[in-house]
Each structure stands twice: as structure tokens, then as C-alpha cells.
Chain A
Amino acid sequence: MVWEAYREAPRPDLRPSALKRRYSVTADVVSYSRCPRQYGFFDVRRYEPVHAVQLFFGTAIHQTLDRVHAYYRGEMPGAARGKTPSEERVTAYFDDVVRGLRARRIFPWRREDRDVALEYVLAFHRIYSGDLYPRVIDTEHRLQADQGEFILFGVVDLLVDAETATRRQTTVRTADFSRGEIWDYKGSRRPDNPHDLEIHEFQMRVYAHLYRCRNGVLPAQAVLVYLGELLDEDGARSESQSRQSAEHAVAFDNASITGALDNFNMTVREIEESIAHNNWPAPQPDLLPSRATCDACDLRYNCRSAKTRRRYRLPFR
């Protein structure tokens, strides 16, 4: 028999896969918490959505504000350090971003959504350019930590110096991590649903942990900014009232960070179990995502849990 020649050969051991999985705070854990089924199809099984409408709002706002901060740092063509861009320029950046997103076929759901996103950006720019821009240390700040069984990573929108600017700065700050604050903008109003707010707070506590892993100290503050709250529809609010309504400082201490990490670890275990069993269930009735999430989901035609009015439709006029 042809195999018998190997009776004296060594018996090879099975080598476990050396590679640890990487889990992002938002793209994995928050996304899975929102809807395991949607996460399983679009992130694990790699289905391509019809239109990445869910991406439009957040991406357009983040990319535009990122350019605005880059302008302030003097990194954009025609920019001088410490100079705030005009509203026209911010609008032009927004248009560029939307064009770029369109090239990647990320569209707004409706034309109004595009206009609302621009209003959010401009409102943020009007209210925050004076004292926040000079305090920004970094944007899209990458953080990661090895959690033993997996790598945890996240991107913080803004890393901000806690020290209030007393005069307009013409130089850009260099990093002083001992007094850094982490800021994250949300392209929405404050969530009505306590579950959604909990998810946002959870995200910031995990970022605080990552920040501590990198810098040895916790951030001075973790701030969520709900850009939708900055719009002053009646013209009756002062800037400080708008800020007050938009900002949500997330409280954290060792216990709450440990709680967030336990939650993170538990979700990662659930994701890994789902991968192992190839099972991506729709969320439980008490943990359903928002209607907007279901409305834009391509799996809604066959989802018992989806709370959408955009059910099965035949292409008739």
C-alpha cells in the first residue's frame, strides 16, 4: 500500500490558526448590537447592499468636518494654519465629499437628507469653530489594544485638548495626552430610545479604555455631540443653549469602563458563536433597531422582526 511508507514518519500536530480577529467598536460591536442579522449578512457574509444609505449621513458629516479641521491645521490647498474656513468653503468641501460618496455609490435616501446633513455641518462649524478648532489635537484618531483573544480597535472623531483656548491660536497644538478629551459626533438628534443612548455611552467608555491603554491615563472627558440638536429651528436659542442641548458628557470611572468592556467581550463572544454556527438571528422584539435602520435594510423583505412600512414591493407604478 502506497501509504505504508509513512508508518515511521512523525505525526504532525494540528496548528491552531495564529490569527486573532480584530473587532471594531462601531463597525462590529455596535453594529452587531443594533441587528445581528444585518451584521451577519453585510459584514460577515459580505453581501453588497443596494444603496449604502445608512452610511451617507455619518460619512458625509465626518468627512466634511475632517476636511474642515485639516483646513484649520493648514493641511488643505490654500489653507493657512489657524485660519477658520468660510462657510462657502465648508459647503464646497461638503459638495466634494458628496460627489466622492456618489462615486462610491453612497447616496442619501432623499434629497432632503443631503440638505439636512449640510445644515448639521454648518451649524457645527458656526458654533464650534471659535473655541473648539484651536483645541483639536487630532482627528480620526486611531486606537487599539490587544485584549488577549482578540484585537479591539476604534477611531475617535476628535482628540481635544482640555485646556480652554484663552486667545485665538495661530499655531496648531501638539499632542499633550495628559489632558486629552475624546469627542464623537453623531449625525442625529439625541436618541429617544434609552437603548440607543446606552450604546453610544458604551462606545465612549470603550474608547476611554483604549485611550488609557495608549496613553496610560484616562481622557479628561468623553463628549458626544448630537449635531441634530444644534439646529435652531425657531431662532430662539443662544449658542450656549444649542451646545448644551447637543453635548452629552459621558460619565466614566473604572467600574463603568469595566462594565463596558465586559459588555464588549460578551458581544464578541456572541459574534464568534454566530460565526461558528453561521447563525445570524433578527433582534429580539424588545431590542429592535430604529425604523430608519429597518427601512434601509435589504433584508427587510424576509425579516419577521423588521418594523418597517417598506415591506415587500413589486416594481409597479
Chain B
Amino acid sequence: MRYIDVDELLRRRESAGKQPLYPAQEKVLRHDSDPLWVIAGPGTGKTECLIWRCLRLLVVDDGVEPGNIIVTTFTERAARELQERIAEALHHVGFGDLDIAMMRVGTIHSLCNDILIEHRYPGYQGVQLMNEVEQHFFVYDRCRLARESTVWDQIGYPFRNVGPYGPVRWELVRASVALLNRLVEDQVDLDRLRRSRRLGSVAEAYDQYREALNLDGTGNGPQRCDFANLQGVFLEFLNNPSYGQSFMLGDPSRGRSPILHVLVDEYQDTNPIQEEIYFTLAGPSKNLVVVGDDDQALYRFRGGTVRCLIDFPGKCQRRLGLAPAKEYLDENRRSHKHIVRWVNKFISSRREMRMAGARAGGKPEIQPRASVTGDYPAVRIIQVSSSSLHAGDVMAELVAGLDSNGLVADLSQVAVLLPSTRGSARPIVRRLRNALGDDRVYNPRSGSFTDHPEVRLALGALVTMLDQDLSVLQTLRARRQLVRGVWDAVNQFVSTYDRDRGSYLSLSRYVEAVQRGVERTPQGDLFPSNIKELFYQILALEPFASWAENPERTVRLGYVSKVLDSFAAIHYEVPRMSDSEPRISSRFLAPFYNSLIGYIFAVRLNEVEDPENLIPAGQVQVMTIHGSKGLQFPYVLVSNLDRVWTSDEVYFLEELFEPYRLDGRRIRFSRDQRHVQDWTRLFFVAYSRAQCGLVIIDDSAVIDSRDTMGLPEDLRRLLRSRDGALGEVAVGRKAGRAVLQAMSV
């Protein structure tokens, strides 16, 4: 017998030793059909709920095959985890032989790409899907918007870094990528934009970019697509009367199942084009389940808008003709009750979060139901107010104490969460490393990729081979054709090579031989090796041959090969000789310097993270708050409460396209209000990661500052009234209760 009823499914779940679902979770499982809006606070068992919702569809609903279900998640890893947990749960309830390979689980981008290929959509045949790095190289090379400042001046774009001659080239590239992606993701009405007096030039710039992409194959050269346009092509596919219908309604003669259920996780970070995709997919069945938490929306800067989640009920009514059922998951099974109380109070402590429409309607506070108990100060706010003491010192002492006294089983149970893990994090990271040792602090997103000797030496050797005596570099500089920062970066790499070449004779002999080869290659010819071949050849020599076996260095060298590959994909693979001199031409070297090295310099590449091992054992995890999304740690330490940088660019772009959006206006709050809401949500995410202990540590000057977003106003006042080098309040204890009362509104 294939199918069972819901009660039997729940009985089997409990027999398998699983904690019973609580009433709101059970309601999600019992939900029959039509749209459903699930608001799930942190630690409330959202993923578990999604898994059992899928199980209910698979084994309870008569007629639902795995191929009838689409689930989108925020990362590929989350997709795999979901698939495996569904398979495991099926096994527990006696359906272990049900194969779910045909269930479509993935990120929206991977699903779009896979489905378009699988259905051989003519608009996506033989298209090169560019990754993020390639899109930057492409925009640098082919996009007028990234070369001229006219359009930017017209629209008054608020660049972050402006030099004496205007924004530097890579600022223009970065802003161009943001603007071009936003235009697609916000579903801007291009016809209206073209007719606009103010923004007509933006539409023109976009048209020029699309033409350069050659996505429709009408031009010459390869057809390319970026991630934003991939979603646009997919939407076009869905709306195609033949392909879209066959995909959504199925075609039994071709063994294709119809799409009967669409489930979307992390809906708070959805952008408008994705929202349109989901409503189109669910159009025939009306079975659209969205799960998310508006208080954890973090990705406005990538085009996500929390309004998709908050306004979901109204949108359902308009698009599907139905109001969704609503469920609020509110039982927190992650954190100590004091932590739950703290995050509940924190999220509503600012006026901007209490305004109508700022949060999902009818949302209850989350309830503490975790097994983590004990009478100890689970939430502490520590104010460091001595000039000789730094927040990092207190963190280091705390972490060392937790570790040496066996209060944590492994250092990876402690996370230091900061708004940024780059410049402003350095004093903290330095102190942690001094106290614990370099190899016991993991800070992969510090932007320090090029600080490592293997990266510098490899790039230094490549530059020395291709541009002996740096003559082209100097010429470009003299002609003011060198992007700012490139000169210093190249000299750093080359000086590393110059310093080390005496120790690695085979490497220096090889480099010199290549230089001689350059001199002998006929002018105007292609050089007989491409840059990746040169890279692999030096990789065979010391010190790279040994470094390639070192677990950390080899991963970085692998990433160098990837960046070289992206460069070759967009610019040139093989260097060309100059027509008039025995050297590599500036036609090759100018983009090599300005695009490749310029990119590496401008974005300050992060360390390469292993997706299979995101939280390496034996090390304290220093993470951005964004990076901690979806994770939990026994101890969470938070600092830099005032480093609440948000570029005006994000809000500017949102406002720029607002009047031209196909789906109408969305902005409900002023720029300042959105700024406060975004930062309140960010710290809410940080605080709600903690299971046993949350420690908020900062300097008194920071706590005094009105820029401090990580603490409610009344609490800042209370802390300011405390004297001494180390002021502390512990929420949940007597003082803490006073704090919470003061915060109650």
C-alpha cells in the first residue's frame, strides 16, 4: 500500500523516536492544498517542518509523485541537506524504497539552469552561463556603462570611492554589475524606462549590455548569460505556450510529471523576478507554500526584498484569487530562554520595527522550548571602558577560559559574529590569535587571499614572465591607463617573486627561459603557451610542487587557476606578441593588469571556503553575520555594534527603479527607516544563533554612540550609567529583568 493517512504518518514519526511536531508545525503538515504562508522565527524547526510537509505530499496525498514537487532553497548545500533528510525521514516511516531523485530541490538559479537545459529551450541552447567573477570581467571589457561616467552623473549615483578624477574603473564596474542585475531582478518595465527623460540612458546602457551578451544569438561570438538574466530567460520559458505548458502541466506521453506543489524556503530574501517565477509556477495548481522570517531578511543589497514575504497574502489574492492559510512557527528549540526573551525584545525595540507594515502581520513572539536550561547569565552585555582594554581582549579571555575549562567540547562551538570580518575586525582577530594561536582562529572572509605567499609568488612569477622589467606596466602608468591600485598590487607580487627567486632556482630558471621565449617569438604572433599552461608549469616546480600538497595552500592555488580561467573565458587565453617589439602586447597585458589584477585588488578576494566543511573543527569561527545565516552555535560573541555600514547605493538603486517596476511600487518606508530596519534584522540574526550563551561586547565609546544599532536605546542609557572598566548587565538576572522592563513598550 503506497499511501497512509496523516495520523498514521505522525504515529510513525513518533515511533521512530522523533520529537512530536508542535501544533503549528502539525498544521503545516496537515494543510491540504492552496497557498500557505509560514512565518518561522529563528530555531523554530522550519526545516523539519518543510521536510515533513514534503513527506505528507509524498506518502499521504494520493497521486503526488516526487516529480510533482519543486522545492527551492537558499544554497546548494541546504538543498542537499533537505533531500537527504527527506530520504532519511521516508526510511523512518517505512517508505525507504521511495526514490525521490525526480523531486526538484535546488537553488532557484540551479533549477532554472537545469530545467532550461533539460527542456532544450531554444532561448538557452549553447549559452555560456557566467559566474560572478566572469560577469565582472565581462562588464569591465564590454560594457560602456563601466567606462563612461555620463550616465552615472545623470542619475547622481552615490559612489563609495571617488578620487580626484571621479570614480575609479572598478567602482564603475561594481556599480554597473549591481545596476544591470537590479534592473532585471526588480522587473523594470524597459519600454517605460526607454521613454523616460531621466533614465532613458540607463535603458540604453542595458540594451548595449544585452547586445554584448548576445544571449539571443543574433550577433557574432558566444552567447552569454548572467545569473539575473538566467531568471529572466526562465520566466520567458514558463510563459512560452509550448515549453512552459509542457513543463508545468506535464506530458505523460513524454514521461513528464506536472508541477503540483511549489515550496519556497527563505522567502524573506526573494527578489521580485523570483516572486514572479514562483507565482507563475504555482499558477495552475495554486499550491504555493512559502516559508521564511521577515525579521531575518538580510539580502536587500543583492536585490532581495522582504516585502515579498510581508505582502504575500495580498499578492496571493491578486495572483491566485485566494487568500493563503497562515501559520506562525513560534516554538524555539534552539536557545536558552533568556536568549529567546532578549531577541524578542530586541526585534521590536526600535520604533522603525513597530511601524505598520514593517513586520509580517499577526506575528507572535517566539516561545522558549529548548532543552538548554540552567540558572546562569545566558545573555550578557559587556561594556569595556578602559583605554588599555579592548573588546577583543575580553573575547580572547572568555574563549580561552571556555576551552581550557572544558565548557565547550571544541573551539568551533564558539562563533564571533561581526558585521564585517575585514578591516574593523582586525583588532579582535589579532587578540584572539595572540591568545589562542594563529591556527585556532578561522576567519575566511577577511579579504586576505592575496596576502598569502603562494598567491603572491604565483602572480609575481606570471607577471615577471609576461612583462619583463614591467615595461608595459610602466607605459600604461605613464599614459594614465592603469587602474588605481594595480601598480601597488603588481609591485607587491613582483617583489615577492624577486625576494624568493634566489631560493627557488628551478623556478627562476624557468621564468627566465620563458622571458627568452618571449624575446624569440615573432612579433605579432600568438605566444606558444596560454596563461594557464604557464601557471601549471610553474606549479610543477618548487616551492609550488610542495605547496600543492599542503591542504590550505593547494586550495588557494586551485582558486588562482579558477580566476585565471575566468579571465581567459572573457578576455584572452593566449598572449599575443606586440607588432613592433619583442614583448607581449599591451592589448593582452592591459586587461591582464587592469581587469585581472584590478579585480583581485578591488574586491579583496576572500579565502576559499570548503562547502563540505564550512565550520572546521578546532578553530573559533570568526564570521560575518550574513555568513552565519541558518547556522547555530553554543556560544555567540558579537561586537562592532556601530559598524553598521550600508552603502547608499543599495537604497539608491531600489528607489531609482521603483516608479518603473512592472508590478507596481513596493517601498513603504523612508531610506533612514529602511536602514534602521535592516540593521536591526542583522543583529537579530546574530543574536538568535546562540544556544547556550550570547555575549555582546563593545567599547563604552561605541555603546555611547548613536550609531550603535546592536543595542536598544534604553539599554544604552542604562549601560552608560555604569562606572568601572568593565560594565556588565546580564539579561535574565535581576539587572537584566530591569533592562527588559525598560525595553518593554
Give A contacts to B, CB under 8 Å: 1-14, 17-22, 41, 45-50, 67, 70, 73, 75-77, 96-97, 99-105, 137-138, 142-146, 151, 153, 171-172, 174-175, 213-214, 216, 278-279, 298-299, 301-302, 312-317
On whether the beta carbons of A144 and B81 are closer than 8 Å, the reply is no
- 26 residue pairs of the A-B complex, CB under 8 angstroms, read A3-B402, A5-B380, A8-B376, A9-B378, A9-B692, A10-B373, A11-B406, A17-B613, A18-B84, A48-B532, A100-B128, A101-B126, A103-B222, A103-B223, A105-B565, A105-B568, A142-B102, A151-B87, A153-B101, A174-B253, A214-B101, A301-B539, A301-B540, A312-B537, A315-B529, A316-B520
* CB within 8 Å for A100 and B568 given contacts A14-B409, A138-B255: no
Q: How far is the CB of B675 from chain A (nearest CB, A)?
A: 33
- Note all chain B residues with C-beta closer than 8 A to A105: 565, 568-569, 573
- Note all chain B residues with C-beta closer than 8 A to A99: 126, 222
Chain B residue with minimal CB distance to A172? B253
Q: How far is the CA of A105 from the CA of B127 in the complex (A)?
A: 12
Does B549 lie at the interface of the complex (its beta carbon under 8 Å from any beta carbon of A)? yes
Does B605 lie at the interface of the complex (its beta carbon under 8 Å from any beta carbon of A)? no
Q: Which of B373-388 touch A at CB < 8 Å?
A: 373-378, 380, 382
On whether the beta carbons of A48 and B564 are closer than 8 Å, the reply is yes
* CB within 8 Å for A3 and B398 given contacts A9-B692, A13-B409, A214-B99: yes
On whether the beta carbons of A3 and B401 are closer than 8 Å, the reply is yes
Q: How far is the CB of B413 from chain A (nearest CB, A)?
A: 6
Q: SS class of chain A's interface: helix, strand, loop or mixed?
A: loop
On whether the beta carbons of B401 and A172 are closer than 8 Å, the reply is no
Q: How far is the CA of A70 from the CA of B380 in the complex (A)?
A: 63
B120, B539, B691: the one contacting A75 at CB < 8 Å is B120
Q: How far is the CB of B443 from chain A (nearest CB, A)?
A: 21
On whether the beta carbons of B565 and A48 are closer than 8 Å, the reply is yes
Does B663 lie at the interface of the complex (its beta carbon under 8 Å from any beta carbon of A)? no
Q: How far is the CA of A7 from the CA of B692 in the complex (A)?
A: 12
Which of B146-154, B305-313, B553-561 is the interface stretch?
Answer: B553-561
Q: How far is the CA of A298 from the CA of B534 in the complex (A)?
A: 10
Digit string of B555-595 for contact with A (CB within 8 Å is 1, else 0)? 10111011011001100010000000000000000000000
Q: How far is the CB of B562 from chain A (nearest CB, A)?
A: 5
Does B122 lie at the interface of the complex (its beta carbon under 8 Å from any beta carbon of A)? yes
A6, A22, A175: the one contacting B693 at CB < 8 Å is A6
Does B725 lie at the interface of the complex (its beta carbon under 8 Å from any beta carbon of A)? no
Chain B residue with minimal CB distance to A18? B81
Q: How far is the CA of A315 from the CA of B517 in the complex (A)?
A: 6
On whether the beta carbons of B81 and A175 are closer than 8 Å, the reply is no
Does B452 lie at the interface of the complex (its beta carbon under 8 Å from any beta carbon of A)? no
- Note all chain B residues with C-beta closer than 8 A to A174: 252-253, 255
Chain A residue with minimal CB distance to B90? A146
Does B372 lie at the interface of the complex (its beta carbon under 8 Å from any beta carbon of A)? yes
On whether the beta carbons of A18 and B255 are closer than 8 Å, the reply is no
On whether the beta carbons of A316 and B409 are closer than 8 Å, the reply is no
On whether the beta carbons of B510 and A103 are closer than 8 Å, the reply is no
Which among A45, A77, A278 has the highest number of chain B CB atoms within 10 Å? A45
A21, A96, A279: the one contacting B126 at CB < 8 Å is A96
B372, B513, B692: the one contacting A6 at CB < 8 Å is B692
On whether the beta carbons of A315 and B398 are closer than 8 Å, the reply is no
Does B612 lie at the interface of the complex (its beta carbon under 8 Å from any beta carbon of A)? yes
Chain B residue with minimal CB distance to A171? B253
Digit string of B396-408 for contact with A (CB within 8 Å is 1, else 0)? 0110111001111
* CB within 8 Å for A19 and B97 given contacts A9-B407, A312-B540, A315-B528: no
Chain A residue with minimal CB distance to B251? A75
Digit string of B99-141 for contact with A (CB within 8 Å is 1, else 0)? 1011000000000000000011010011110000000000000
- Note all chain B residues with C-beta closer than 8 A to A67: 120
- Note all chain B residues with C-beta closer than 8 A to A13: 409
Q: How far is the CA of A317 from the CA of B252 in the complex (A)?
A: 60
On whether the beta carbons of A146 and B91 are closer than 8 Å, the reply is yes
- Note all chain A residues with C-beta closer than 8 A to B555: 45-46
On whether the beta carbons of B84 and A19 are closer than 8 Å, the reply is yes
A11, A20, A316: the one contacting B407 at CB < 8 Å is A11
Q: How far is the CA of A150 from the CA of B548 in the complex (A)?
A: 28
On whether the beta carbons of B532 and A50 are closer than 8 Å, the reply is yes
On whether the beta carbons of B122 and A9 are closer than 8 Å, the reply is no
- Note all chain A residues with C-beta closer than 8 A to B742: none
* CB within 8 Å for A96 and B568 given contacts A46-B558, A47-B558, A315-B529: no
On whether the beta carbons of A45 and B409 are closer than 8 Å, the reply is no
Does B80 lie at the interface of the complex (its beta carbon under 8 Å from any beta carbon of A)? yes
Q: How far is the CA of A100 from the CA of B125 in the complex (A)?
A: 7
Q: How far is the CA of A142 from the CA of B101 in the complex (A)?
A: 7
On whether the beta carbons of B84 and A20 are closer than 8 Å, the reply is yes
- Note all chain A residues with C-beta closer than 8 A to B2: none
- Note all chain A residues with C-beta closer than 8 A to B122: 77
On whether the beta carbons of A9 and B562 are closer than 8 Å, the reply is no
A7, A12, A46: the one contacting B409 at CB < 8 Å is A12
On whether the beta carbons of B408 and A41 are closer than 8 Å, the reply is no
Q: How far is the CA of A214 from the CA of B537 in the complex (A)?
A: 46
Chain A residue with minimal CB distance to B254? A73
- Note all chain A residues with C-beta closer than 8 A to B91: 146
Q: How far is the CB of A208 from chain B (nearest CB, A)?
A: 15
Chain A residue with minimal CB distance to B101? A144
A2, A5, A46: the one contacting B376 at CB < 8 Å is A5
On whether the beta carbons of A10 and B80 are closer than 8 Å, the reply is no
6 extra A-B contacts, CB within 8 A, seeds A70-B120, A75-B120, A301-B536: A45-B554, A49-B532, A75-B119, A105-B573, A302-B541, A302-B545
On whether the beta carbons of A41 and B99 are closer than 8 Å, the reply is no
* CB within 8 Å for A316 and B126 given contacts A12-B692, A144-B99: no
The 8 A-B pairs of least Cβ separation, nearest first, read A3-B401, A100-B126, A302-B540, A301-B540, A315-B529, A12-B634, A103-B222, A103-B128
Q: How far is the CB of A35 from chain B (nearest CB, A)?
A: 16
Q: How far is the CA of A97 from the CA of B569 in the complex (A)?
A: 18
On whether the beta carbons of B410 and A14 are closer than 8 Å, the reply is yes
Q: How far is the CA of A146 from the CA of B223 in the complex (A)?
A: 38
Q: How far is the CB of B546 from chain A (nearest CB, A)?
A: 11
Q: How far is the CA of A308 from the CA of B606 in the complex (A)?
A: 37
Does B77 lie at the interface of the complex (its beta carbon under 8 Å from any beta carbon of A)? yes
On whether the beta carbons of A19 and B77 are closer than 8 Å, the reply is yes
A4, A76, A138, A313: the one contacting B120 at CB < 8 Å is A76
- Note all chain A residues with C-beta closer than 8 A to B569: 105
* CB within 8 Å for A9 and B554 given contacts A48-B561, A103-B223, A151-B84: no
A14, A97, A213: the one contacting B413 at CB < 8 Å is A14
On whether the beta carbons of B374 and A8 are closer than 8 Å, the reply is yes
Does B474 lie at the interface of the complex (its beta carbon under 8 Å from any beta carbon of A)? no
Q: How far is the CA of A216 from the CA of B548 in the complex (A)?
A: 46
Does B337 lie at the interface of the complex (its beta carbon under 8 Å from any beta carbon of A)? no
Q: How far is the CB of A78 from chain B (nearest CB, A)?
A: 10
Does B448 lie at the interface of the complex (its beta carbon under 8 Å from any beta carbon of A)? no
B85, B377, B408: the one contacting A18 at CB < 8 Å is B85
Q: How far is the CA of A100 from the CA of B225 in the complex (A)?
A: 12
Which among A12, A214, A216, A301 has the highest number of chain B CB atoms within 10 Å? A12
Chain B residue with minimal CB distance to A150? B84
